[in-house]
Structure 1
């Protein structure tokens, strides 16, 4: 679990967001270490608990709240032979030209080569004449 700050509108349990990196005002903010310093650019986070502490912020309509976040599970398409619940694999994104399937082909929050644990098989898709399993994965910290 990670402690960070989010805008008051995002400070609700269950809300997910992707951290894209610090904005310019963050570079001189006294709260930057706890706000953006604990997050990794390009990763998806889910608010699990909102603490009763707020701070002023020039970016988030004046206020940010202290929250606890985790990296949630993410759905991704993989080769069927790798789709074994409970196994740990390194993500290799499959090839697919269909832009409508990009959310499971290259989901935001996962990077090529990430170590993940397969939690569940949730379906399958077909792309470029090949079938793939859609699995729910949790990133393994290395």
Structure 2
């Protein structure tokens, strides 16, 4: 679990976001280490708990709240040979040019080369003449 700060309007358990990196004002903020220093650019996070602590912030309307976040499981298409529940694999994105499947071919929050654990096999997916498995994975840190 990671502690960070989010705008008070967004501070709701279950909300997911992609951290895109620090904005310019964050670089000189006294809270930057806690706020953006704990997050990795390009990763997906889910708020699991909102604490009753708030701070002022020049980027958000009003204040930011202290929240606890985790990296949630993410769905991704993989080669069927590595789709084994419990296996830990190095993620290699599959070749699928179907725009309707882009969200699971290269899902936000994962990078090719990430070490992931296959948590669940969801379904078979066809892309052109190839068949893949849609799986839910968690990133290994």
TM-score by length of 2: 0.98
State the shift of 1:10 in Å. 1.5
Q: Report the equivalent of 2:11.
A: 11
The answer for the alignment partner of 2:58 in structure 1 is 58
Question: Equivalent residue for 1:117?
Answer: 117
Structure 1 runs not aligned, ≥5 long: none
CA RMSD of aligned residues (A): 0.7
Superposition misfits of 4+ residues, deviation over 4 angstroms: none
- Tell me what 1:79 maps to: 79
Distance across 2 between alignment mates of 1:6 and 1:80: 38
**2:9 alignment partner, SS class:** helix
Matches within 5 A, 1:5-44: 5-44=5-44
Tell me how many residue pairs correspond in the alignment. Answer: 141
1:99: Cα distance to partner?
1.3
Aligned-pair CA distance for 1:128: 2.6
Which stretches in structure 2 are left out of the alignment for 5+ residues? Answer: none
